[in-house]
Amino acid sequence: MADYIANCDKAPHKQGDKVRRAAHPVTFSGMPGLFMSVDAADEAHDVAVLFLSPWGIDELSTRRFFRILAEDLADIGVASLRFDYPGTGNALDAEDAVIDMDCWTDAARRGADALRALSGARSVVLLGFGIGAAIACNAGKEVGGLAGLALLAPVVAGKRYLRELSVWSTIIDEGVGVPVHRRDTSPGTIAGLTMPRGIVSTLDTLKPETLAASAAGRIFFASRPDSASDRKLREQLEQNGAQLHHCTIPDYDRLVENPHGQRLPHALMAELLAWIARLPEAQGSIASPPAAPLGPAVLVDDVIRETGLRFGPGVRLIGTLCEPSANPTEVTVVLLTTAYDHQAGWGRSAVELARRLAKNGIASLRFDSAGVGDSPPAPGRRMQVLYDDTQIADVAIARSFLDEIGRPGPALLYGRCSGAYVAFRAAAEDERWAGCIAVNPYIFRWLGAPTEEVARSAPRPLTDYSQKAFRAETFLRLARGDVDIRAAIRHIGARLAQRLSNLLAPVLGPLMPIERLNRAVHADFRSLSARLGGTRIVYSAGDVGLDNLHAHFGKDAKKLSRYPNTELHILEDTDHNITPQASRDILFGIVEQAALDVAAKVSAGKV
């Protein structure tokens, strides 16, 4: 492992005329981070930027935004550090009561110290988004060499923030289809994430007057459109003598509502970079920056050992290897990302699954594919990576990487939604994989490359359209213009065409493209049934992908019985994202059993 990591710096990833590696995984004070260094050939300025994340769905949505900002900063000679607070992202867990606002503020101070040591810069800018902006205000007064604060959409009033989270949580639960009786309505819960109790109980310390009193000096303030609370804080900062640069975040909702279909505020990013470049501290340079960090970035507790990694050609993929501290098996589960969610997963589910597997002796590798989360894009690929077959190449890289670090044993692929498609296709096409667990796959093969519209919004089942057609709320949405009628007609037409093709296929056979597709899917299942780990297909009851499963294997999926070592599981009372904890526990049990079954076969010498 150490030899592999040491060799990473010798293979830069080139994109156009730029050298673009993924950031260096690091740890400090028991927290995982990503340090983006300035290229050795460029001048490094005497200021560096510490990113302070928002929380919840905002953090999931801004991960890629932060990564791109860090890359742009490196291009102008400014190093940076991104990290996860205790109990968030890829950080280790701690007791809820221990994690409060003071804990996260102290993490920011420690991050600033680590950044100065890593970069060699004497001055630091604290750049915070949401609750991270409030932390920047509180931490700034105790950070030595503070060059300025960049406050983006700051959480100004803690109690109001909790109320907003509650409203937004209801909207998200309704949007993804979480059954009402399965929704978690406890304070500070959203999208499968529950805010630590200590944070909830200390949020009331966040008030405009206290934040303004803590912040001073040069401040870049990016407010939400028409936000009275942002305006109040801005006015108080100006009254306290801050040198304020103010702007508004355009399309704020499109930035934070979902990583899928996100719109980045490029004009704001350019304005922020220009503000940092003009800081007095940025005019000086570092004579001899420290060498880039080497060695594994490891976090350990009583049960697991997690190593932050960059790997693959040009070390452009970011991931985390989670290993058991005791009684390891030879089996590894590779956890793939869904759409543009970063490696921690929706509701931090990938982290939770990885650590549950480790407690049972199963190692796992979770990683961001190219262009997702913390991994920079690969050259020559389109920006829209959803359902793109080029992601399968990243999965093959992950398999080779496991061999390189001494884990050549059986490996299973796990993915949900678009990640399930990639897991299934990658496993079917590469015999090095022992099998796969595909959760809510919309499709197993495409009949031609999907359009971006289809990739972003798959057609619902016909039963779903018919059930909703005569509901009063549907007519109200039509009257308000909330329904895209043209898209609905296209989706219904696609479903009807699929059913007609399925009816004609037995008569016309391979003359029909849909029948050729069907035979190819059956061949995939036949091939996977011979693997050590086989295939587990898991669907939420009523999921959009079930129509395609039934098209291939019959209304009750009885044709799956043709293939041994293949299981179908239906999860009741849950949504497409498997948000409720009770549903996750069932799903994780399925994954765990699949891995343990392979481990048992290995022990019995059946490899």
pLDDT of 347-391, one tens digit each? 999 999 999 999 999 999 999 999 999 999 988 777 778 888 889
Under the banding of pLDDT at 50, 70 and 90, the label for residue 532 is very high
106 shares a domain with 251: yes
Under the banding of pLDDT at 50, 70 and 90, the label for residue 2 is very low
pLDDT at 506: 66
Nearest Cα residue to 5 out of 20, 26, 19: 26
Average pLDDT for 442-451: 85
Average pLDDT for 182-196: 94
pTM score, whole prediction: 0.90
pLDDT at 443: 96
CA distances from 440 to 253, 416, 546, 575, 592 (A): 27, 6, 8, 10, 18
The proportion of the chain whose per-residue pLDDT surpasses 70, expressed as a percent, equals 87
525 shares a domain with 431: yes
pLDDT at 499: 59
Q: Return the minimum-mean-pLDDT range out of 159-168, 328-337, 525-534.
A: 159-168
401 shares a domain with 279: no
Average pLDDT for 39-43: 84
Q: What is the CATH classification number for the domain harbouring 83?
A: 3.40.50.1820
pLDDT at 384: 77
DSSP string, 420-449: HHHHHHHHHH-TTS-EEEEES-S-SS-SSP
Residue 35 lies in a domain: no
Burial degree of 391 (CB within 10 A; 0-12, 13-18, 19+): buried
Q: 1, 311 in Cβ contact below 8 A?
A: no
Average pLDDT for 218-241: 92
Residue 164 lies in a domain: no
- Which amino acid, 111? G
Residue 487 lies in a domain: no
Residue 479 pLDDT > 70, yes or no? no
Residue 489 pLDDT > 60, yes or no? no
DSSP string, 42-73: SPPBSEEEEEE---THHHHHHHHHHHHHHHHH
pLDDT at 16: 40
Residue range 45-86, pLDDT digits in tens: 999 999 999 999 999 999 999 999 999 999 999 999 999 999
523 shares a domain with 379: yes
420 shares a domain with 315: yes
Quote the CA–CA distance of 516 and 512 in Å, as a whole number: 7
pLDDT at 15: 38
Quote the CA–CA distance of 36 and 68 in Å, as a whole number: 11
Residue 1 lies in a domain: no
449 shares a domain with 374: yes
Under the banding of pLDDT at 50, 70 and 90, the label for residue 494 is low
Residue range 398-407, pLDDT digits in tens: 999 999 999 9
End of a domain among 226, 254, 283? 283
Residue range 317-327, pLDDT digits in tens: 999 999 999 99
Give the Cα-Cα-Cα angle 290, 295, 300 (nearest 5 degrees).
125
Residue 480 lies in a domain: no
Residue 444 pLDDT > 70, yes or no? yes
Residue range 131-165, pLDDT digits in tens: 999 999 999 989 989 999 999 999 999 999 999 99
CA-CA-CA-CA torsion sign (510, 514, 520, 523): negative
105 shares a domain with 139: yes
End of a domain among 255, 283, 311? 283
Number of domains in the chain: 2
513 shares a domain with 407: yes
The proportion of the chain whose per-residue pLDDT surpasses 90, expressed as a percent, equals 72
Residue 370 lies in a domain: yes
Residue 143 lies in a domain: yes
Q: 102, 299 in Cβ contact below 8 A?
A: no
Q: 110, 29 in Cβ contact below 8 A?
A: yes
Average pLDDT for 287-313: 90
pLDDT at 19: 47
As a dihedral over the C-alpha atoms of residue 551, residue 557, residue 559, residue 561, rounded to 10 degrees, the angle is: 150
263 shares a domain with 307: no
pLDDT at 102: 95
Q: Which residue has the higher pLDDT, 514 or 255?
A: 255
315 shares a domain with 277: no
Nearest Cα residue to 394 out of 443, 335, 452, 462: 335
Residue 9 pLDDT > 60, yes or no? no
Q: Which residues contact 306 (CB under 8 A, 6 or more apart)?
A: 32, 90, 92, 298, 299, 300, 320, 321, 322, 323, 354
pLDDT at 143: 93
Residue 497 pLDDT > 80, yes or no? no
Structural domain harbouring 83: 45-156+191-283
Quote the CA–CA distance of 63 and 318 in Å, as a whole number: 13
363 shares a domain with 226: no
Residue 170 lies in a domain: no
Nearest Cα residue to 233 out of 97, 368, 136, 341: 136
The mean predicted confidence, pLDDT, of the chain is 88
Alpha helices in 180-285 (DSSP H): 197-202, 208-214, 228-239, 252-256, 266-278
End of a domain among 260, 283, 306? 283
Residue range 537-570, pLDDT digits in tens: 999 999 999 999 999 999 899 999 999 999 999 9
Q: 158, 207 in Cβ contact below 8 A?
A: yes
244 shares a domain with 364: no
